[in-house]
Copies of this chain bind each other. A is one copy, B any other.
Amino acid sequence: MTETKSTRPYKKVLDRLRAAGLRPTRQRLALAKLLFEGGDRHVTAEILHGEAQAASIRVSLATVYNTLHQFTAADLLREIVVDSQRSYFDTNMSDHHHFFHEKTNQLMDIPGDEIVVAQMPPPPPGTVVKRVDIVVRLDE
């Protein structure tokens, strides 16, 4: 049962990459493991790179950036815009929103069912709503 985890530690993550059409390279596997086996996470490229180093995974920062973007394009991650100076990536792909504590740079998920948008204007002609992002900015 947990056999899958111990005897084939990369199986799950490998399947995800294959399913996304991404070649399962050493570094993609390692980063995917860090990202997807720790529950819902919010990371910046710097943070993930730091974690990789800490885990003795040799990966360049450029590859971390590439990988985050490829994963995002493959719908394995979602980019969150809360800070105009830094990009955060979220492993939680379900419908949800965010609390953002500006002093501490902490991001927290708000489950989709805890925010209800009752009314919304139609998108301008010729456009389509891609996503609605709600950021509740916290203070104190």
Contacts and interface: CB of A to CB of B under 8 A. Distances in A.
A88 B79 CA distance: 19
Nearest to A98: B133
A108 B121 CA distance: 12
Given A133-B135, A134-B133, A135-B132, A126 B140 contact: yes
Main secondary structure of the interface of A (DSSP, over half): strand
Interface stretch (A9-17, A52-60, A109-117): A109-117
A140 to B, nearest CB: 5
A52 B37 CA distance: 51
Given A81-B81, A81-B83, A135-B133, A120 B128 contact: no
A2 B126 CA distance: 38
16 contacts: A81-B81, A81-B82, A81-B83, A81-B84, A84-B84, A84-B85, A84-B87, A99-B123, A101-B127, A115-B121, A127-B138, A129-B138, A129-B139, A130-B137, A132-B134, A132-B135
A124 interface: yes
Contacts of A130: 102, 137-139
Question: Which 8 pairs between the two chains have the least Cβ-Cβ distance?
Answer: A118-B118, A130-B139, A116-B119, A127-B138, A116-B118, A114-B121, A84-B87, A130-B137
A120 to B, nearest CB: 6
Interface string A76-101: 00010111111110000000000101
